[in-house]
Amino acid sequence: AEDSGASWVTVHARTRSDFYRTDAQWEWIGQVKTAVGIPVVGNGDVRSARDVVRLMQSTGCDAAMIGRAAMGYPFIFREVEHLLTSGSECAPPTPQERLDAAATQLRWSVEQWSEERAVREFRKHLLAYVRGLPRATLFKVDAMKLERAADVIQALSDYLLSLPDQPFPRPEQQSD
């Protein structure tokens, strides 16, 4: 790819047949970085800002790509930026910040598709927005039955605003 003019390459450190059953093989990223003269972006098992730092330090890659960890947790990007620029972690999002982000995402989805499709597609994201929060399992059972965007936003608002207005641990620090 480099000989053909590629200006950078991304390495996903897992095979398709591995799916997500195995850990990403970060050493592959390091091998590619050693073999080429262009920037290398590493991907695979990047779930937190700390993972970005570990990936870059252990492989020498120039950047990290974040995939599934951003689903329902777009705050990971500000956490990465903060850690890389300041050397310290920033506070995780408050329940209100989670609500605002989820509501914005759902509104954008409704603008893109029909309300029915947007709500149906948003369900997997909705689950991710509340992952690890107190009483999330009960909320999920009821929320998965909702069909209107306004009802989803109201249910999410009622749930999140019933929680203490404090940051909760990041998803990678919790179990479902």
pLDDT in tens, 117-147: 999 999 889 988 888 888 888 898 989 999 9
- Check residue 168 and report its DSSP letter: -
**Residue 176: band (very low, low, confident or very high) from pLDDT cuts 50, 70, 90:** very low
Q: Quick one: CA dihedral 48, 49, 54, 56, positive or negative? A: positive
Q: State pTM to two decimals.
A: 0.84
**What integer pLDDT is reported at residue 168 of this predicted model?**
73
**What integer pLDDT is reported at residue 166 of this predicted model?**
67
Distances (CA, A) of 85 to 11, 50, 90, 171, 172: 24, 13, 11, 22, 21
Beta bridge partner(s), residue 10:
41
pLDDT in tens, 87-121: 999 998 888 888 899 999 999 999 999 999 999 99
Q: CB–CB of 119/107 below 8 Å? A: no
Query: What is the average pLDDT score of the chain?
Result: 90
Beta bridge partner(s), residue 40:
9
pLDDT in tens, 40-84: 999 999 999 999 999 999 999 999 999 989 998 999 999 999 999
Answer whether residue 167 shows pLDDT above 70. Answer: no
